[in-house]
Amino acid sequence: MVQKDSIPLINDEHPFTLEKWNDALIQLYEWGVDDILFQDGEALAVQRKGRIVTVGTRPMDLETVEFVLNGMYKNSAAATLQKGEDHNFTYPVRKDRTTTYRFRVNATASMGMYSSPVGVDITMRTIAQVPPTMVELKVPQELIDLLFPRTGIVIVGGATGSGKTTLLGSVIREILTDPVGRRALTYESPIEFDYRAIPNRTGRIAQSDVYIMLRDYSHATANSLRRHPNDIILGEARDAETIEGAVHNAETGHRVYTTVHVNSVGEMLSRMAGVFPQGERSRALSGLIGSARTLIYQELVPTVDGGRTAIREYLSLDDQMRRTLYATDESRVTKVMTDLVDRYGRPLMRDVEDRYREGVLSKATFERYQAELGGTGTEIVMSDSEQGEVLFGSEVADEAASC
């Protein structure tokens, strides 16, 4: 087991075999890294707690990087990269009979060292075999209560590395441990968590890797309706066919979960509709307004102890909000959605203020968000140790006093 406070000693001596690579992956996984960065002409490095750390002892030549990629995926992987095809897959490494570590891998062609036209960049994100619970992620009960509508779409948004897949995984874990027992289908590219390994599982789940096990996401939509699930999970709503499929599945009475790359709840519906051709956007937006139930946006921010914590904003759409959005011009939907979050949901800045008040975030982090987002009408005064109290405005204080 790697000591958490020391950089692991990686054996990257030549020749760098696949066995040495797997041993290195085990060490780095147990050290708690977020991403592994493997590129020709560079020493092996990782991202850990928001920082890049070099863990290799020498620059890796292109042939070694290509050899490792072919060993992890398929023999032609390195060659097909140079044809403009990037590779996305999950790579498992077995430590012993009962322990397997898993990584989400992207391999992309890039310019090599000294302007060479051929190079390879591999990014590997560590993923747990099973997702954490919502209790472990400290998801507030207020949000938990919004995550399980009878039908419709629950959308989790955020940037790459924001933890949205992990948050969605915790929701699926809750579904699969429901005493009633539910049937869920996932369509992912690539598959990340192994949901059948969840302890005390009562539900049934089948996971399919789209483009490998199924032709595409449009086929996944038709496929799911033939299998009579309670819940349908679409790994990422990145294109029109996936989004259209999510709306169709919701309109046929299913509960659907998906993720999307966005920067706020306010822009979520407009951004998703924006991937459709111009003539189809209005119809797509109407479908999303009618089907969406709960929208969540999440970021991971550095904490004062060197770790990271989640901050979230969210909104649950009701019929009155839907009527407002239907009557809103397409160009103003993002603005109206942002106003709805501020008035009826939980804006991101409120989470920032709470984490700062608790002493989890530094003053610098708090002030950065305050400058970007503005406050929520709450003045926060902290001591030098950044453990303080919140002084509320007179209106809120009067309301609190009357309770």
Distance CA 229, CA 216 (A): 19
Q: Are residues 111 and 172 in the same domain?
A: no
Average pLDDT of the chain is: 90
Does residue 320 share a domain with residue 280?
yes
**366 and 306, same structural domain?**
yes
54: CB partners within 8 A, 6+ apart: 43, 44, 45
Q: Do residues 207 and 70 share a domain? A: no
User: What does the pLDDT read at residue 357?
Assistant: 97
Answer whether residue 382 is part of any domain.
no
Which are the contacts of 148, defined by CB distance < 8 A and separation ≥ 6?
171, 174, 175, 255
Evaluate whether residue 296 is within a structural domain: yes
DSSP secondary structure code for residue 40 in this structure: B
Averaged pLDDT, 202-222: 88
Q: What is the CATH number of the domain that holds 48?
A: 3.30.450.90
Residue 323 lies in a domain: yes
Q: How far is CA 319 from CA 142, 326, 341, in A?
A: 19, 10, 15
* Residues 106, 32 share a domain: yes
Identify whether the C-beta of residue 67 lies closer than 8 Å to the C-beta of residue 50.
no
Provide CB contacts within 8 A for 144, sequence distance 6+: 134, 174
Domain count, the chain: 2
400: in domain = no
- Say what the pLDDT of residue 403 is: 38
CA atoms of 233 and 257, how far apart (whole Å): 5
- Record the pTM: 0.80
Are 49 and 198 found together in one domain?
no
Average pLDDT over residues 20-40: 96
Report if residue 392 sits inside a domain.
no
Q: Are residues 74 and 216 in the same domain?
A: no
Is it the case that residue 231 has pLDDT exceeding 80? yes
For residue 396, what pLDDT band results from cuts at 50, 70 and 90? very low
Tell me the residue range of the domain where 190 lies.
141-374
Residue 112 and residue 62 share a domain: yes
- pLDDT score of 277 more than 60: yes
Q: Can you read off the two tokens belonging to residue 187?
A: 């369509």
Are 82 and 217 in a shared domain?
no
Is the residue at 223 inside a domain? yes
Residues 119 and 145 in one domain: no
Domain membership flag for residue 402: no
Whether 401 has a pLDDT exceeding 50, the answer reads no
- 253/177 same-domain check: yes
State whether 113 and 195 are in the same domain: no
d(CA 398, CA 367): 27
